[in-house]
Amino acid sequence: MLASGAPRSSWTASVPWRLLVSALGHGRPAIVATAPVVWLAVTFLPDIHPALRLSSWLATAAVIGLGAELAAHAAAPEAVWRRGWGTFWFVPAGTALLAIIWFSVFPDRPRSLAPLAVVAVIGTMLVQRAEVNGLQAVRAGAHAITIGLAFAIAFVVYAASAHADTVWKLPLVATASAFAASILLRDARAGRAAGLGLVGATAIVVGELALILSSTAAAPWVCGALLVLALYAASGVCHAVLDGAPRHVYLELALVTGAGLIFVGLGATRAWPLG
């Protein structure tokens, strides 16, 4: 018996429509529409005229980032994660941009790898969706994955900026640091003003270290690793301050940063033995 009293035929006819609305709701269209954009980008943009490459790459990344931001807005419009709005574009857009550049740098790239780029970008959007609209037990893990992806993108930017002029290097490093730090801090229990202030402080700390490293002969990957450690330490301390964390959190940050410095030092020594 139908609770609404409607004829069975009309109720049955409405079921596919309801399923369609449910499937396309909550930001899913933006995620679905991203797949062909990424596919076309990694297929055709590497062969575009060199004079148009950079602008076309950035424009495509901006479109994908906008879609990711809209998907996050639609997935959880009333969630407590609203303080993080404005940061959900960075990881998907950065992943897409790196994929396009990778396909462009290697001329013998196999076209069959295009689906992997699509899966990578869509995967970042789905992880962020779980972060804002998933089960409570899943949100922390999804947030940690997003932070890791943001730091990985920042590392690529840091390493690549080693080949840029100082006038471009510092803005690139500061911008990547600010966005990566804002992703780490978007679940902190603090107001937007305090969060933005500490994001700016993190960008300044990492930028100053980049300025110091620019006068050394360190390899790009070493500079990138050191800057990521600085990003981790500075943003981690900022997060602990905003959350009023106990002392052992600061000790853990110091231990992880120290262990990272040891590994980077050992790697650099193995690559370039002393003497």
**pLDDT tens sequence across 154-192:** 999 999 887 777 788 899 999 999 999 999 888 776 677
Q: What is the mean pLDDT of residues 41-50?
A: 87
Percent of the chain with pLDDT over 70: 83
Place 22 in a pLDDT band, splitting at 50, 70 and 90. very low
- Residue 15: pLDDT over 50: no
Query: Alpha carbon of 85 to those of 25, 28, 75, 79, 183: distances in Å?
Result: 19, 17, 12, 10, 10
DSSP codes of every residue in 178-240: HHHHHHHHTTSSS-HHHHHHHHHHHHHHHHHHHHHHTTS---HHHHHHHHHHHHHHHHHHHHH
The Cβ of residue 138 has, within 10 Å, a number of other Cβ atoms equal to: 13
User: Whole-angstrom Cα distance, residue 176 to residue 194?
Assistant: 19
Tokens 């050191």 map to which residue? 226
Place 49 in a pLDDT band, splitting at 50, 70 and 90. confident
Residue 126 in contact with residue 34, Cβ under 8 Å?
no
The residues spanned by each domain of the chain are 24-134, 138-275
Residue 95 in contact with residue 120, Cβ under 8 Å?
yes
Predicted confidence at residue 275, as pLDDT, reads 44
pLDDT, tens only, 101-148: 888 887 677 777 889 999 999 999 999 988 888 777 788 899 999 999
Place 8 in a pLDDT band, splitting at 50, 70 and 90. very low
Residue 156 in contact with residue 210, Cβ under 8 Å?
no
Burial letters 192-231, b for 16+ CB under 10 A, else e: eeebeebbebbbebbbebbeebbeeebeebbbbbbbbbbb
Highest mean pLDDT range out of 17-21, 76-80, 112-116?
112-116
